[in-house]
């Protein structure tokens, strides 16, 4: 009986056009398992290396349980535990819980998907504070996927972040747009290239970043884990 049957590795050179030009890589490995016809479990570990491939910026482990409500709707609960490097060189332990609603529908040859996520994040578990520092956010993501050639797909997505403030209300803080082309080059291998734009407009001077992404994915299947579960190859933190 095989235990780990799906290996995912993504290499993501990132080029940001701004004051600092940086290159980074992320390596991922994960698996998924159907528990019943409607219930599934997945886990993923990921490490992100930045600063010209020289420094570990963050590493984490994700676990998710997903339930299919209908052919077009699903819900999921995610938990993430990991650490993040700060400018002073120290790492802080972090955790995040997220509740997701997924909707998808196919219009002819175009598959449209919507995800609404409510997340509760604690950015510094080991800060020693008596009251944990949590941050709430609502993320709405809309994406469209279409086959544009043999073994080649184009995906375009947009996502807006609504973050809680001192008045316990939510206001938009970030917006992210991404376009990606992915091609299957072998039975279990995929190559992708994309462009990502991230804009933060909750500051006095809005910040905007552009990135070019290149991804490589390898997968394999087995008796226990039959479904493919590929890592999204965006270079920005999810």
Indicate the SS3 state at residue 132: coil
Tens digit of pLDDT for each residue in 44-86? Answer: 888 887 766 667 878 899 999 999 999 999 999 999 999 887 7
Tokens, residue 117: 């996520």
Quick check: is 20 in a domain?
A: no
Torsion of CA 63, 69, 73, 75, to 10 degrees: -30
Residue 183 in contact with residue 151, Cβ under 8 Å? Answer: yes
Tens digit of pLDDT for each residue in 109-141? Answer: 999 999 999 999 887 665 555 445 567 899 999
Quick check: is 233 in a domain?
A: no
Quick check: is 19 in a domain?
A: no
Q: What is the predicted pLDDT for the residue at 225?
A: 42
Structural domain including 68 reads 25-218
Number of domains observed in the structure of the chain: 1
Torsion of CA 114, 94, 82, 234, to 10 degrees: 40
| CA atoms within a 13 Å half-sphere pointing along the CA-CB vector of 211 | 26
Residue 104 in contact with residue 111, Cβ under 8 Å? Answer: yes
Quick check: is 198 in a domain?
A: yes
For the residues of 84-114, what is the DSSP string, one character each?
EE-TTS-EEEEEEEEEEEEEEEEETTEEEEE
Quick check: is 42 in a domain?
A: yes
Number of Cβ within 10 Å of residue 10's Cβ equals 24
* C-alpha span between 100 and 97 (Å, rounded): 10
Tens digit of pLDDT for each residue in 10-24? Answer: 444 444 444 445 566
Partner residues linked to 30 by β-bridges: 44
Quick check: is 3 in a domain?
A: no
Quick check: is 94 in a domain?
A: yes
Quick check: is 7 in a domain?
A: no
Tens digit of pLDDT for each residue in 204-229? Answer: 666 777 777 778 777 766 554 444 44
CATH of the domain at 43: 2.40.160.60
């Amino acid at each position: 009986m095989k235990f780990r049957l799906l290996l995912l590795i993504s290499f993501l050179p990132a080029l940001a056009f701004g004051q600092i030009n940086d290159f980074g890589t992320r390596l991922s490995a994960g698996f998924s398992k159907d528990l019943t016809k409607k219930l599934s479990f997945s886990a993923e570990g990921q490490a992100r290396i930045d600063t010209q491939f020289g420094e570990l910026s963050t590493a984490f482990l994700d676990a998710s349980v997903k339930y299919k409500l209908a052919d077009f709707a699903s819900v999921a609960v995610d938990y993430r535990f990991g650490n993040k490097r700060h400018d002073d060189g120290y790492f802080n332990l972090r955790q995040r819980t997220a509740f997701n609603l997924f909707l998808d529908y196919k219009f002819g040859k175009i598959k449209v998907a919507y995800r609404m996520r409510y997340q509760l994040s604690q950015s510094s578990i080991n800060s020693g504070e008596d009251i944990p520092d949590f941050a709430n956010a609502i993320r709405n993501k809309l994406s469209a996927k279409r086959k544009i050639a043999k073994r080649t797909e184009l995906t375009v997505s947009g996502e807006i972040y609504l973050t809680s403030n001192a008045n316990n209300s939510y206001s938009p803080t970030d917006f992210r747009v991404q376009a990606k082309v992915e091609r299957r080059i072998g039975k279990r291998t995929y190559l992708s290239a994309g462009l990502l734009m991230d804009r933060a407009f909750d500051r006095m001077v809005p910040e905007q970043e552009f990135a070019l992404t290149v991804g490589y994915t390898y997968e394999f299947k087995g008796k226990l884990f039959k479904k493919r579960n590929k890592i999204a190859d965006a270079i920005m933190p999810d």
